Amino acid sequence: MDLMRTYGAMQLIEGGSAWEMSKLEPHVAIRLKQLFPRVPKNSTGPFRFPRDLMHAADLDWFLTRYPLAMTAEDREALDGGRLAFNLQQAEIERILLPNFSPAPFVGLRDGQNVRHYQMQAVELVRRRCSLLLGDEGGLGKTYTAGAFLCAEPCALPAAVVCDPPIMDVLGIKASEARQIVDPHVGVQRTDNDTSNLRKLVERYLEKGKAVARGDLAKTVEATLNEAEQHALFE
């Protein structure tokens, strides 16, 4: 039986939360750094990657050119991540089709409607858990965010960070669109200072304990800490 040539090894580490490449041949390590810019250029390995769907697809593609020694269980895990990524991409493409028909939204006041392109954005956030919305002014980015909060009760409590000039307008639009009297949504000036934002988040997390499940509080805390370290709100 012919044995496949391998150029190193890859395995799951840290309880299955990350991938690690080790013992790469020099030319393979050079190619890896070219294709994965986040890998430090001066690193000699081992090389670590988070275990998520995108990395599963990219690493699987890399292994088609440079096979690495893996256990059957790790190979199955990588294949599963790649397949899940492909399914996610297919679902995103389906959402972006002109004939996409999302489920009805609840929580809107009478007379308030969500446009088709706004519903598409909401569904993208649901699938990807994040979205950078670059619509031009006047197309209703505020209503898109409000529609997501209506469609996903688990997204509450939420902290809305905006420039001071639009804070009042944003609050009015949110209250006009939502039927819920107390939506647990806070609108706060940043004034280049994350201390107010931290107090706001803590306040709404305390107020909305029933919906602040899982790792929401930890995620918010980590985000705020990173914002303070890198001055993301300046």
Distance of alpha carbon 220 from alpha carbon 12, whole angstroms: 27
Cβ atoms < 10 Å from Cβ of 184 = 20
Task: Examine the pLDDT at 41 and tell me if it is beyond 50.
Answer: yes
Q: Which of 41, 63, 94 is the last residue of a domain?
A: 94
The pTM score is 0.62
* Predicted local confidence at residue 170, as pLDDT: 60
Let me know whether 128 and 167 are in one domain: yes
Which H or E element spans position 19? strand 18-22
Residues 32-44 have a mean pLDDT of: 92
Distance of alpha carbon 40 from alpha carbon 193, whole angstroms: 32
The confidence band for 70, taking pLDDT boundaries of 50, 70 and 90, is very high
101 lies in some domain:
no
* Predicted local confidence at residue 232, as pLDDT: 38
Residues 149-162 have a mean pLDDT of: 71
106 lies in some domain:
no
4 lies in some domain:
no
* Predicted local confidence at residue 202, as pLDDT: 57
2 lies in some domain:
no
170 lies in some domain:
yes
* Predicted local confidence at residue 192, as pLDDT: 46
Strands 18-22 and 9-13: antiparallel
Percent of the chain past pLDDT 90, that is, above it, reads: 34
Domain residue limits at 200: 116-230
* Predicted local confidence at residue 172, as pLDDT: 54
Answer yes or no: are the C-beta atoms of 12 and 51 closer than 8 Å. yes
Domain count, the chain: 2
184 lies in some domain:
yes
100 lies in some domain:
no
* Predicted local confidence at residue 168, as pLDDT: 60
* Predicted local confidence at residue 181, as pLDDT: 31
Kindly report which listed range (10-14, 52-56, 198-202, 215-219) carries the lowest average pLDDT score: 215-219
CA 100 to chain centre: 22
Let me know whether 123 and 76 are in one domain: no
Tens-place pLDDT, residues 74-93: 999 999 999 999 998 898 88
Distance of alpha carbon 147 from alpha carbon 141, whole angstroms: 10
Task: Examine the pLDDT at 233 and tell me if it is beyond 50.
Answer: no
Let me know whether 137 and 74 are in one domain: no
Distance of alpha carbon 230 from alpha carbon 234, whole angstroms: 9
Tens-place pLDDT, residues 112-154: 777 888 888 888 888 877 777 877 777 877 778 777 777 777 7
Answer yes or no: are the C-beta atoms of 175 and 187 closer than 8 Å. no
* Predicted local confidence at residue 78, as pLDDT: 94
Let me know whether 49 and 124 are in one domain: no
Distance of alpha carbon 119 from alpha carbon 147, whole angstroms: 8
Residues 190-194 have a mean pLDDT of: 46
Distance of alpha carbon 112 from alpha carbon 176, whole angstroms: 8
Q: Which of 35-44, 127-136, 180-189 has the highest mean pLDDT?
A: 35-44
Mean of per-residue pLDDT scores for the chain: 75
Percent of the chain past pLDDT 70, that is, above it, reads: 63
Residues 151-167 have a mean pLDDT of: 69
Kindly report which listed range (63-72, 100-109, 110-119, 173-182) carries the lowest average pLDDT score: 173-182
